[in-house]
Chains A and B, each alone.
Chain A
Amino acid sequence: MKAKFLVPLLLFFGLAGFLAFGLTLNPREVPSPLIDKPAPDFSLARLDQPEQTFSLKEMQGQVWMLNVWASWCVACRQEHPLLVQMAKQKIVPVVGLNYKEVRGDGAINARGMALEAETGMAIERARRWLTDHGDPYVLSVLDIDGRVGIDFGVYGVPETFLIDRDGRIRYKHIGPITPDALQNVLIPKIEELRRAG
């Protein structure tokens, strides 16, 4: 046991290894328990035709993405050009989930506002934003109170869900989509899901 004095050093390196690995993890990216589970069903008013609703079964048979956005969300502005570009290249159909358009905006006090008034305001704001920045969505739906967001485990905007032909959530991207994440993660996953049948 001549090398006994090395034991604390080795323990130190072991600990340092764990800590170094910990530094590469992002504690803000909470893994979703919904991966590989059926996407929670919903029925929400469409932004383009608020008298009509949209539900998951309309996308059955397609690989598609659900992108959570809001006009007050600054990071959405960052990812938006990429979504517009994806739409031009027809990479994958993207449905927009407009999340708490009015009450999520810290600058507006939506408390006590009637639901109709809030909905009207949300439609107006969301449409204006899409006119200004481009509309990459097949369609958007209005999640006025954020309940559908809770069902999807949304805890920040933007978030993006990749959903397969059978309506299962296969991947969740937290935060703005970056060109790197699109090329190296999302597109390969989309292709894999399409091949899978």
Chain B
Amino acid sequence: MPVDAVFASLRRPVRNAAVALALACALPAWAETTTPAIDPALAPALAADPALEADVMELSHKLRCLVCQNQSIAESNAPLALDLRNQVREQLAAGKDKDDVVDYLVERYGDFVLYEPPFKAVTVLLWLGPMALLFGGAGWLAFRLRRRRDEVAAEGALSAAERARARELLAGGGTGTSHPESPESRS
């Protein structure tokens, strides 16, 4: 994910500020008053194997932190996010595949931990709603445009007399041949 790259490219003070910000929302609302100490020891543990660590981070980006709800457990430094990341790392290291790890978390925290909600009966509207709106709207627009075209066609083109009158009006519009406006009527 680009987030990591962006994070790594930040200059130190900016990075520290980002960590502080992450820590600031690291506790649930009802325990907000205890602020964790900002400590380099909070830097996440890493698996020795870089391939494994890459898997851990890839999976962690798909899992929502329940404390900082708009962050994934890869981005959040909430204590729970650290615990869950450690769980992911531990279970992947033990040879479980990614689906098992996801199931493990869904069993405990529900579909809410998934950033990509599964497609099932209660999420049909969520998944198909935007598409239904798009196609419905496009269909409605096509219907209206066609009907308008038919209406215009039904009214028919201008007759020869109408054309002549239109030409006369256009040509004579600026010359004052038609009714001059009386100054009184202006006020």
Q: Does B28 contact A (CB under 8 A)?
A: yes
Answer whether residue A100 sits at the interface, using C-beta atoms and an 8 A cutoff: yes
Contact A106 B108 (CB under 8 A): no
The answer to whether A28 and B28 touch across the interface, beta carbons within 8 angstroms, is yes
Q: Would you call B30 and A150 a contact (CB within 8 A)? A: no
User: Does B110 belong to the interface (CB within 8 Å)?
Assistant: yes
Residues in A whose Cβ lies below 8 Å from that of B37? 106-107, 109
Q: Is A30 an interface residue (CB 8 A)?
A: yes
Contact in complex: A75, B108 (CB < 8 Å):
no
- Whether B69 lies near A28 (C-beta < 8 A) is yes
Q: How large is the interface on B (under 10, 10 to 19, 20 to 34, 35 or more residues)?
A: 20 to 34
State the CA gap A188–B83 with chains docked (Å): 35
Binds B, one of A47-55, A81-89, A153-161: A153-161
Interface residues of B in 75-120 (CB under 8 A from A): 79-80, 83-84, 87, 106-112
Total interface residues in chain A, CB < 8 Å: 32
Q: How far is the CA of A168 from the CA of B71 in the complex (A)?
A: 31
In this complex, what residue of B is CB-closest to A78? B30
- Beyond A107-B37, A109-B41, A146-B83, whether A153 also contacts B110 by CB under 8 A is yes
Q: Are A152 and B108 in contact (CB under 8 A)?
A: yes
Interface 0/1 of A23-52, CB less than 8 Å to B:
000011011111000000000000000000
Q: Which of A105, A109, A176 contacts B30 (CB 8 A)?
A: A176
A64 at the binding interface (Cβ < 8 Å) = no
The answer to whether B79 and A104 have CB atoms under 8 Å apart is: yes
Please determine whether B66 and A155 come into contact, CB atoms closer than 8 angstroms.
yes
B-to-A contact residues, CB < 8 Å: 27-37, 39, 41, 66-67, 69, 79-80, 83-84, 87, 106-112
